[in-house]
Amino acid sequence: MSKIVPDGIVCFFVSYEYLESMVTAWFDQGIIDEIRKRKLVFAETQDVVETSIALDNYQRACLNGRGAILLSVARGKVSEGIDFDHHLGRAVLMFGIPYVYTQSRILKARLEFLSERFQIKENAFLTFDAMRHAAQCVGRAIRGKTDYGIMCFADSVCGVHLCVSFACISSCVCQRQTRLIIFLS
């Protein structure tokens, strides 16, 4: 992807732990070294100051024409309100579906209320909520009618319900048990 996409690429992972495990695997496989030949790589962390510095450096790298990749977390700081319009987000990659942590007392109470009051099943709400957050993440890239970019969803278990949930699918590429769903805008 870094070979063909100009400017900025933003990647969203479902958790900090998953981001770290993927980066470790990519280092071991030499993928990070290949990416760094073409673009700078920055990552969101749980530290707000470090994340702000990484975001600032990412934007500078995109502005000066070098290009960069920002590795971030769905439901994290970067996914909540920062826009990657024009050259800052020519591609957005979503690794996994960002389901919420279900052991929270507040979430359990909300799910119980929805079930009792509106007969909304737990799984239906959790899937809707996860898809809403996924859409929020990838929606950070396309911010106006003159903007363009590519949105890719990669998940090993989502398959069919993703295809049903989004109407604007231009292509589904299946490889082994992983489905890669590509949106062109």
Render pLDDT for 40-86 as a digit per residue (tens, 0 to 9). 999 999 999 999 999 999 999 999 999 999 999 998 888 877 888 88
Whether residue 76 contacts residue 44, with contact meaning beta carbons closer than 8 Å, is answered with yes
For the cut 80, the answer to whether the pLDDT of residue 21 exceeds it is yes
The residue-averaged pLDDT of 139-148 equals 76
pTM of the model: 0.78
pLDDT tens digits, residue range 90-143?
999 999 888 888 888 998 999 999 999 999 999 899 988 888 888 888 777 777
pLDDT at 160 over 90: no
**Secondary structure in 3-state letters for the chain:** CCCCCCCEEEEEECCHHHHHHHHHHHHHCCHHHHHHCCCEEEECCCCHHHHHHHHHHHHHHHHCCCCEEEEEECCCCCCCCCCCCHHHCCEEEEECCCCCCCCCHHHHHHHHHHHHHHCCCHHHHHHHHHHHHHHHHHCCCCCCCCCCCEEEEEECCCCHHHHHHCCCCCEEEEECCEEEEEEEC
Least confident of 13-22, 68-77, 142-151: 142-151
Per-residue pLDDT for 166 more than 70?
A: no
Confidence class for position 157, pLDDT limits 50, 70, 90: low
